[in-house]
Amino acid sequence: MTNKIAIGFDYTHNNKLTMENNAFADFTQYLFDSSFQLGKIEAGITLDKLVKYDILIIGVPNLGPDLDPDEIKDLVTYVKNGGSLLIINDGGGDYENKNNLSELTKNFGISFNPDRLYDNKNFSTDNSHPIIKDFSNHFITRNIDKFVHSNGCTLKIDKSFEDEKIDINGIAYSSEFTSWHSYLNGDGWHDKSEQHLPIIGISHYHLGKVVAIGNLSIFSSLNKSYGIQAADNFKLVSNIISWLLNKAKSEDEQAAKPIYATVAMNQDLFYWIKDMINLGKWKNLEEVINYALRVTKIKMKEGNKNDQNG
């Protein structure tokens, strides 16, 4: 029986983000390199299938079939019982991508706006690739200076859903001064100067967690100016995965359960330790880091004792 962390991908709804799509090779490789067990949910989402995974990634369903009411019910139950969802939409929200993701995410106090975000000053290659610099203080945004939100939509955060077991927040926002969006209403598309719009939404829902983002390009390997290799995009993606995995159902479990964290390593040290792991000197990177931390902790304790005795 394996104790590996399992991450599932939705393959039921003609999703754009799949493991076989070369556009997302770097993201998929990051998950493989992190020793996660990856799998697919095909032919319908059910609770029996969901409970095999620590995280389910729903990456831009496109052109149907929609999530049906039973699938939405099972997804909500999955999160309530401790599962995690990463829900990704793209520019134009549900409307342009021909999906009904907001029917799912509204249960967690988040919905995707039918819009596209622009910024006339802070952008990568053009104003449809805004650079996001405005963050709330959160695990996901730690050590993030900026990321690129290319051709993406914004979110609506509905905190009226909150109670003692539900906490909903936006953690990244468009510029307060230079952003605007093109949005859809009953008679077509309209441009509006509107700032500080939510870009990433998170929800603690009972025992589980949800992250929603309206930007597929951040996971893409195709363009270094706005994809996963741009700015702090990779760091943001890895922070999201780490946060979704870091949850405990009790104080006892919190004390015993490992914390999954991402760290920036010196490249020479990283490739040296990979060689050592390949040679069988260490089992994996986790073992190396925990050993280094234990040694550091012991030496610091010895140093403190010497200082006191001196």
Instruction: Give me the domain span that covers residue 292.
Output: 267-309
Query: Using H for helix, E for strand and C for coil, what is the string for the chain?
Result: CCCCCEEEEECCCCECCCCCCHHHHHHHHHHHHCCCEEEEECCCCCHHHHCCCCEEEEECECCCCCCCHHHHHHHHHHHHCCCEEEEECCCCHHHHHCCCHHHHHHHHCEEECCEEEEECCCECCCCCCEEECEECCCCCCCCCCCEECCCCCCEEECHHHCECCEEEEEEEECCCCCEEEEEEECCEEEEECCCCCEEEEEEEECCEEEEEECCCHHHCCCCCCCCCCCCCHHHHHHHHHHHHHCCCCCHHHHHHCCCCCCCCCCHHHHHHHHHHHHCCCCCCHHHHHHHHHHHHHHHHHHHHHHHHHC
273 falls within a domain = yes
148 falls within a domain = yes
- Compute the average pLDDT of residues 275-284: 81
Residues 287 and 144 in one domain: no
Query: Is the pLDDT at 85 greater than 70, yes or no?
Result: yes
262 falls within a domain = no
Query: Is the pLDDT at 309 greater than 70, yes or no?
Result: no
Residues 200 and 149 in one domain: yes
71 falls within a domain = yes
Q: pLDDT for 105-143, tens place per residue? A: 999 999 999 999 999 999 998 999 999 999 999 999 999
Residues 142 and 289 in one domain: no
